[in-house]
Amino acid sequence: MITVVGAGRVGTSAALQIAMRELGDITLLDIIEGLPQGEALDLNHACAILDLDVDVRGTNDYKDIEGSDVVVVTAGIVRKADMTRLDLLHKNSEIIRSVAKGIREHAPKAKVLVVTNPLDVMTYVMWKATGFESRRVMGFSGLLDMGRFRYLIREKLGVSYKSIRSMVIGEHGDSMVLLPRLTFIGASPLSSFMDESVINERVERTRKAGAEVIKLKGWSAHHAPGAGIAQMVEALVRDTKEVIPTSAYLDGHYGVKDVYTVVPCVLGAGGVEKIVELQLNDAEKELFMKSVSVIREAISQVKW
């Protein structure tokens, strides 16, 4: 069973995408009475139309998440256009600790995928609050940021997404580190197709993409996060061993300890089964360490 905590736009989008991949039955949990039940009913109707043999249940009780293999956590207040992800820190850290208590008591063997912002900090808080092994607690964001970058590359070049390979590391936020040097179109480097000024413009637009979505439609992204969450859940449930940019606990990797940040990881039935260490150049290392310092500073502001 897969549980999604939070029946807002991101949570319900994730539940739909998980259902469409038929990864397992789904429990949708929220504190608002009637909301998860109503969303579950709507999703069940969608499954009936699409011939998806998946059962979706809505609940307000953590007891109903017992037996979950994966718990996706989207609960939290959402970011407004004039807010940074770090502005959300204090309120959402309280919410995450409350959710962690429910998971610890009722799904102690689950793998936990955190989506709540500020992402890397909330994943660290979840790890601390559950007491789970770090490999079982991870954060979603890398696929979203990488997807936004790939969209902007395709928009410029007109090539298939299947031909674009890239990676992102660091904070899910303004200090994220996109890696144009390690981005390829087929087997050729991105620099063979774009000059440096165009690449830099695409990198900057990627960093601002979340705020752009909010400004245009009035609320934060949920279609893209839902798709990315489902891809990560599939890797965990089906043990695909896919390399996915994931907010993971670093314990000496990249020369960093005791912090969660996005790095390429092998995801499988055990959770984060391996952290892949990229060969970064000096400039990339510097940007990555600056990004890690942003996360550390935010962690230091959490009220434990």
- pLDDT given at position 78: 75
pLDDT band at 232 (very low <50, low <70, confident <90, very high): very high
pLDDT in tens, 14-37: 999 999 999 999 999 999 999 999
pLDDT higher than threshold 80 for residue 13 = yes
Strands of the 271-275 sheet, one edge to the other: 56-59, 26-29, 2-5, 70-73, 111-114, 137-139, 242-251, 257-268, 271-275
Q: Could you tell me how many residues make up the chain?
A: 304
Which amino acid does the sequence have at 142?
G
Q: Any residues with CB less than 8 A from the CB of 234 and at least 6 apart, and which?
A: 21, 23, 240
- pLDDT given at position 52: 97
- pLDDT given at position 43: 98
- pLDDT given at position 84: 66
Strand blocks (E) in the chain: 2-5, 26-29, 56-59, 70-73, 111-114, 137-139, 164-165, 168-169, 177-178, 184-185, 188-189, 242-251, 257-268, 271-275
- pLDDT given at position 214: 87
Dihedral (C-alpha) 130, 131, 136, 139: value to the nearest 10 degrees? 60
Least confident window among 23-32, 103-112, 215-224: 215-224
Structural domain spans, the chain:
2-139, 142-300
pLDDT higher than threshold 90 for residue 80 = no
CA separation for the pair 266, 277 (Å, rounded): 11
Does a cis peptide bond (omega within 30 degrees of 0) precede residue 118?
A: yes
Report the percent of the chain where pLDDT is more than 70: 97
Backbone angles phi and psi of 12, in degrees to 5: -70, -35
CA separation for the pair 249, 123 (Å, rounded): 9
Q: What is the mean pLDDT of residues 267-296?
A: 97
CA separation for the pair 160, 223 (Å, rounded): 20
- pLDDT given at position 11: 97
pLDDT higher than threshold 90 for residue 304 = no
CA separation for the pair 237, 239 (Å, rounded): 6
The bridge status of strand 271-275 relative to strand 257-268 is: antiparallel
Per-residue H/E/C for 26-73:
EEEECCCCCHHHHHHHHHHHHHHHHCCCCCEEEECCHHHHCCCCEEEE
pLDDT higher than threshold 90 for residue 121 = yes
- pLDDT given at position 219: 86
pLDDT in tens, 163-190: 999 999 999 988 999 999 999 999 999 9
CA separation for the pair 180, 223 (Å, rounded): 25
Q: What is the mean pLDDT of residues 268-279?
A: 97
Assigned fold of 2-139: Rossmann fold (3.40.50)
The bridge status of strand 137-139 relative to strand 111-114 is: parallel
Report the percent of the chain where pLDDT is more than 90: 90
CB 277 within 8 A of CB 261: no
Q: Which CATH class is domain 142-300?
A: alpha beta
CA separation for the pair 27, 40 (Å, rounded): 8
Q: What is the mean pLDDT of residues 230-249?
A: 98
Q: Any residues with CB less than 8 A from the CB of 231 and at least 6 apart, and which?
A: 143, 242, 244
CA separation for the pair 225, 112 (Å, rounded): 16
pLDDT band at 96 (very low <50, low <70, confident <90, very high): very high
- pLDDT given at position 79: 65
Tell me the β-bridge partners of 259: 250
Q: What positions carry a catalytic annotation?
A: 172
pLDDT in tens, 32-50: 999 999 999 999 999 999 9
pLDDT in tens, 138-151: 999 999 999 999 99
Closest CA to 145 of 202, 199, 207: 207
Q: What is the mean pLDDT of residues 101-127?
A: 96
Question: What pTM did the predictor assign?
Answer: 0.95
Q: For all residues of the chain together, what is the average pLDDT?
A: 95
Backbone angles phi and psi of 169, in degrees to 5: -140, 170
